[in-house]
Structure 1
Amino acid sequence: MTEPAPAWFFLSLVLVGGVYAAGFLFRLLAYLALCLRRPRDLRRSYGAWAVVTGPTSGIGRSVALELARRGINLVLLDLDAANLQETSELIKSRHAVETKTVAFDLSLVGTPQGDESMRRLRAAIEGLDVGVLVNNAGVSKPYVVFLHEVDVEAWMKMVRVNLWALTEVTAAVLPGMVERGRGAIVNMGSASSEAIPSFPLCNIYAATKRYVAKFSRSLYIEYRSRGVDVQCQAPFFVATRMVPRAIRDNWLSPFLPTPDAYARAAARWIGHGPLCSPTVSHQLLWCLASVLPDAVHDWLRLREHLRLRAHRKRAARASATWHAVD
């Protein structure tokens, strides 16, 4: 007959469970307090202008519109000049703010063309009270593929945009914030690198976002005494074109905020700590993810991404067949 477990074992389990529940409750109450309090006046706190990268679609477009709704003028930086102009006109038609546009292919950082674009960005912000920088632009493709299946240059484009360009744009805007003694930098990270231990078949993407989180945390420590708040926002999936339809249509769909809903929450979180996942649905997913052992995460992610990879291949074959028949 086996000996019953000693009382201290059960007490330790109760203690661990109590600590976890207390931590969860604290995070929930802090989140609710932030949601209920009056939103911070970002223009008064940080400055009259914001620089937003990747503002022509998805989260970036919604964040730009949200900042404009809050009375902040915008410097918009993106690849396509026509899309920039369309976004600029939309913003000015809805809100009484000024806009500037800088056409910049962020995948060209470190090249002569990229250097010229950086000079144009510095010229565009010269003399402006730039109080907010939102590094939103990012590349998520190639998606759900093995490393050896894609040409190295495609991976390097992802690295240049997600990592190198974010660093250069930050370095261009930060000195003015330091000089004025105020500012906020928001770098768009990902829960794939912060809440989940591995992201197989998307490993370069997750690795670049891990850089963003570490970069942001270190800058937060370096510059908060100088009045500059630096934050990495690490969302789960948001209902944009970057998210495959197979994910938008599965069990996660109730947890996918729209870009506009995400932008409202994101703006409210600016200046509140070095790392956050702004929406309620993503906070719940983060808490759920923290309960699962790493081995379970690894198995689930690999299984799901292999399923998405197979779905992509079937869709590609069907498209090729349709075009051949056509």
Structure 2
Amino acid sequence: MLPPTCINHLTTHPPPWLPLTPPPILLLSTLGLIILIKHFTIFLNWVFVTFLRQPKNLLHNYGSWALITGATDGIGKAFAHQLAHQGLNLILVSRNRNKLETVSSELQSEFQDIKIKTVEFDFSTANGAGFIEEAVDGVEVGVLINNVGITYPSAMFFDEVDEKIWMDIVKVNLEGTTRVTKAVLKGMLRRKKGAIVNIGSGAAIVVPSHPLYAIYAATKAYVDQLSRSLYVEYKRCGIDVQCQVPLYVATKMASKVASIEKRSLFIPSPEDYAVAAIRRIGYKPRCTPYWAHSLQWFFADMLPEAVLDAWRLSIGMNRRIN
């Protein structure tokens, strides 16, 4: 052990081999370690949320009925099946009477203990608030899935879109979602519980622009902002509002717009998407439920906006030519 005089000398006159400040390599290593720990923590949280966290009991937490718009095809139909599997009664909304009867019969034969109501309505033709209010009168709607949505028949520049096309998109995607939410919210406020799930789109959120589908993307951006604001407004009232952001799902709309014919690693079936989506209800105000979609979003977020813009424009132009 050094005598006190030696210790004092070393303190006031450090030897030349003892640096006064950490070398740059040490600072870089420390910074790298911090970044690595941060990303590893994010990865662990993603694994937990995506695969391990228990989903909420929708029947117990929110109520015995669920209302699904656009319920006879694709994501909406898959949601109806998953909600019925959890024991919720269903209100199915669609513009096609024959499809409503078919889907209702299929679900009723598989889930004999649940009740099913159907509402035939085309959101592009009129104000749907009255129809929805009548359908939910006396019914405790605990879960709302705002799934109905339409897009362009093909890739178009803004000036080429006919007024009827873009007005229908606004009526269905924007006005329809707003009116149904407002109609169902009244009962949720009385009961002080409920879950509202609005289906957004990666076209409005994951990428900075969606050229040749501008109006569709704009309406989905509205859905995202509406959801986020309502989440803040009504969280204290026991109502969970969420915007779910899928990328491509193997639906009829995706087949028509993007020539997607079947599922793949990054393109789930509606059923696979709905299974993942149910697990996320009631948590964050915005999420990308399907694991592969969240990975795509992660890597897209690392790219410069100019690169994403050029990529999306090339996709739109290719669909326009074909």
TM category (shorter chain) comes to 0.7 to 0.9
- Which residue is 1:324 aligned to? none
* Selected match of 2:260 from 248, 257, 266: 248
Unaligned 5+ segments in structure 2 are 1-22
- Which residue is 2:44 aligned to? 29
Q: RMSD of aligned C-alpha atoms?
A: 2.4
- Which residue is 2:93 aligned to? 77
In structure 2, relative to structure 1, the CA distance for the partners of 1:10 and 1:243 (3 Å cut) is farther
**SS of match in other structure, 1:142:** coil
- Aligned-residue identity in percent: 42
Residues 283-319 of structure 1 show CA distances to partners (whole Å, capped at 9, x for unaligned) of 11010111100000001110111111111xxxxxxxx
User: Is 2:289 the partner of 1:272?
Assistant: no
User: Is 2:184 the partner of 1:173?
Assistant: yes
Point out the structure with max Rg over C-alpha. Answer: 2
- Corresponding pairs, count: 297
Superposed displacement of residue 275, structure 1: 0.2
In structure 2, relative to structure 1, the CA distance for the partners of 1:249 and 1:51 (3 Å cut) is closer
In structure 2, relative to structure 1, the CA distance for the partners of 1:105 and 1:202 (3 Å cut) is same
- Which residue is 1:221 aligned to? 232
User: Is 2:112 the partner of 1:100?
Assistant: no
- Which residue is 1:287 aligned to? 298
**SS of match in other structure, 2:254:** coil
**SS of match in other structure, 2:198:** strand
**SS of match in other structure, 1:107:** coil
Quick check: 1:190–1:236 contact (8 Å CA) kept in 2? yes
In structure 2, relative to structure 1, the CA distance for the partners of 1:99 and 1:291 (3 Å cut) is same
Structure 1 runs of 4+ aligned residues shifted over 3 Å read 7-19, 21-28, 244-247
| Greater share of residues in helix | 1
User: Is 2:227 the partner of 1:188?
Assistant: no
Q: Distance in 1 between matches of 2:38 and 2:199?
A: 25
Quick check: 2:78–2:271 contact (8 Å CA) kept in 1? yes
Superposed displacement of residue 15, structure 1: 4.5
Q: Distance in 2 between matches of 1:26 and 1:224?
A: 27
Matched residue type, 1:37? R
In structure 2, relative to structure 1, the CA distance for the partners of 1:174 and 1:82 (3 Å cut) is same
Superposed displacement of residue 55, structure 1: 0.4
Please report the TM-score for the alignment, with normalisation by the length of structure 2: 0.86
Q: Distance in 1 between matches of 2:39 and 2:261?
A: 29
- Which residue is 1:316 aligned to? none
Quick check: 2:79–2:274 contact (8 Å CA) kept in 1? yes
Quick check: 1:50–1:74 contact (8 Å CA) kept in 2? yes
Quick check: 2:154–2:319 contact (8 Å CA) kept in 1? no
Q: Distance in 2 between matches of 1:226 and 1:77?
A: 26
Quick check: 1:158–1:205 contact (8 Å CA) kept in 2? yes
Superposed displacement of residue 11, structure 1: 6.1
User: Is 2:275 the partner of 1:259?
Assistant: no
Q: Distance in 2 between matches of 1:60 and 1:134?
A: 8
Q: Distance in 1 between matches of 2:291 and 2:175?
A: 31
Superposed displacement of residue 32, structure 1: 2.2
- Which residue is 1:149 aligned to? 160
Residues 115-146 of structure 1 show CA distances to partners (whole Å, capped at 9, x for unaligned) of xx432321221111110000000002233111
* Selected match of 1:68 from 84, 89, 100: 84
In structure 2, relative to structure 1, the CA distance for the partners of 1:155 and 1:36 (3 Å cut) is same
- Which residue is 1:4 aligned to? none
Q: Distance in 2 between matches of 1:25 and 1:204?
A: 38
Superposed displacement of residue 85, structure 1: 1.2
